[in-house]
Amino acid sequence: MKRKKNKPIRQLLSNIVTTLLFGLFITLAIFIIVTRIQGGTPQLFGNELKVVLSGSMEPTFQTGSIIAVKPYTDQELKKDDIITFVDESERVITHRIIEVVENNAHTMYQTKGDNNNGADRDLVRQENVVGIYSHFTIPYVGYLVHYMQSPLGSALLLIIPGVFLLGYGVYTMWSIILEMDRRTKELTKEVTEES
């Protein structure tokens, strides 16, 4: 009797695992495709996800974290806001505003990394600001996202869940074959005993 009660539970768990693996595979595939179409910047709920590649903002966020950045749309920025900007050498940097500088018709920002000894060398022009930190951080996941954006990482993140899904499918089919074999033996035994 116990065996029969466990079968529906085992079948339910099998269905849940299959659904989760398939969902993970589809989600990763869509995420990678959308990221490629958007030019390599993943987004979540309208925020761009940026990978922290240096320790200049520790302890606010750690190296290897993912941070969410709201696109900048000319809203007023103030001291202590954390902004993402493009510097003179086209690098994307996320630092804290330590001073707002009004220069004739232009607004500029003096920035500094929380972990740096001094302020950044150049002032940031308002038109170079691309985003504002939205106070959402996921530690260490940035390493995975950074790797995922490479061609090899993209391929592996599609292949690995596919292999797991295929392996689980083979396991499920093998379990079904063994169950059918067991039932056939039981029926054969019952027929032999009745004869």
Whether residue 148 contacts residue 154, with contact meaning beta carbons closer than 8 Å, is answered with: yes
Distance CA 43, CA 132 (A): 14
In the sheet that holds 129-138, the strands lie side by side as 43-44, 47-51, 66-71, 129-138, 82-86, 92-103, 106-112, 124-125
Per-residue burial over 41-51, b = 16 or more CB atoms within 10 Å of its CB, e = otherwise: ebeeeebbbbb
Residue 54 appears among annotated catalytic residues:
yes
Phi, psi of 22, rounded to the nearest 5 degrees:
-65, -45
The residue type found at 152 is L
Whether residue 83 contacts residue 94, with contact meaning beta carbons closer than 8 Å, is answered with: yes
Whether residue 116 contacts residue 58, with contact meaning beta carbons closer than 8 Å, is answered with: no
Distance CA 6, CA 190 (A): 23
Which one of 54, 56, 89, 150 is the catalytic residue?
A: 54
Residues marked as catalytic: 54
